[in-house]
Structure 1
Amino acid sequence: MNTDSALAALAALAHPTRLETFRQLIRHEPEGLSTGALVAASGLSQSTFSTHLAVLAKAGLVIAEKRGRQQIQRADVSTLVALMTFLARDCCQGRAELCEPLLAELTCC
């Protein structure tokens, strides 16, 4: 991941609706959720929610899959991993022990 991609992903997640949508999709990996279910959970109109979904998709955080008559949205976990790696790689300056609290937090739950 490069700086531009990281900034696009962070900007996409910097809105309450988009952040909550992405978190919902992460919780429902790998099966994903229908667009209709996401719209209903958001409480927004279809058109307003579609705008938010488009921002997430453009940033590479969400992938749409057609399943029968439904449009299923899935989180792109590889983008999440790339973003987290990008953010953490340089901050530790090669000292893995500085990232141990982060790793412990991720594995505890």
Structure 2
Amino acid sequence: MELMAAVTRLSALAQDSRLSVFRLLVRAGREGVPAGEIARSLDITPNTLSAQLTILSNAGLVRSRRDGRSIIYSADYGGMSELLVYLMEDCCQGRPEVCSPLAEAASRAACCNTTEEGIHQ
């Protein structure tokens, strides 16, 4: 991942409602959530949600698909994984105790215990 892509993704997450939307989508899993349900769950007006989803999508953190009349949004786990790896790739510098709390947290997370197409979910 290049520096500017990481900055774009971090910038997209650096706002409270976008971070809330992203976290909701991560929890929802690959099946995603309809836009209307996101708006209701987070008490965000539809036009504001649309702008927030566009920013997250342009940053490579959210995907969308049409299902009948609904648009379903889901987290882009590949984009999220790339960002996390970028942030962590130089973490330890020979000192594993620096990253061990993160490795322990990842090993406890149910989503991190399975893979699909070589990408940790």
Report the TM-score, using the length of structure 2 for normalisation: 0.83
1:56 maps to 56
1:69 maps to 69
Q: How many residues of Structure 1 are paired with residues of Structure 2 in the alignment?
A: 109
Q: For 1:13-49, what per-residue CA distance to the aligned partner results, in whole angstroms no more than 9, with x for missing partners?
A: 0111010110110111111000110111221211111
Name the aligned partner's letter for residue 107 of structure 1.
Answer: S
Name the aligned partner's letter for residue 86 of structure 1.
Answer: Y
Gapped regions of structure 1 (runs ≥ 5)? none
RMSD value over aligned CA atoms? 1.4
Name the aligned partner's letter for residue 36 of structure 1.
Answer: G
Q: For 1:25-83, what per-residue CA distance to the aligned partner results, in whole angstroms no more than 9, with x for missing partners?
A: 01111110001101112212111111111110110100011112210001000011100
- Contact between 1:25 and 1:74, CA under 8 Å: does it hold in 2? yes
SS of the residue 1:47 aligns to? helix
Identity %: 37
Structural mapping, 1:72-83, within 5 Å: 72-83=72-83
Which 4+ residue blocks in structure 1 deviate beyond 6 angstroms?
none
Report the TM-score, using the length of structure 1 for normalisation: 0.92
1:93 maps to 93
Choose between structure 1 and 2 for higher RCO, CA contacts under 8 A separated by at least 6 residues. 1
- Contact between 1:9 and 1:59, CA under 8 Å: does it hold in 2? yes
In structure 1, how many angstroms separate the alpha carbons of the residues matched to 2:41 and 2:65?
19
In structure 1, how many angstroms separate the alpha carbons of the residues matched to 2:64 and 2:72?
6
Cα displacement (A) at 1:96: 4.5
In structure 1, how many angstroms separate the alpha carbons of the residues matched to 2:54 and 2:14?
14
Q: Is 1:15 aligned to 2:48, yes or no?
A: no
1:37 maps to 37
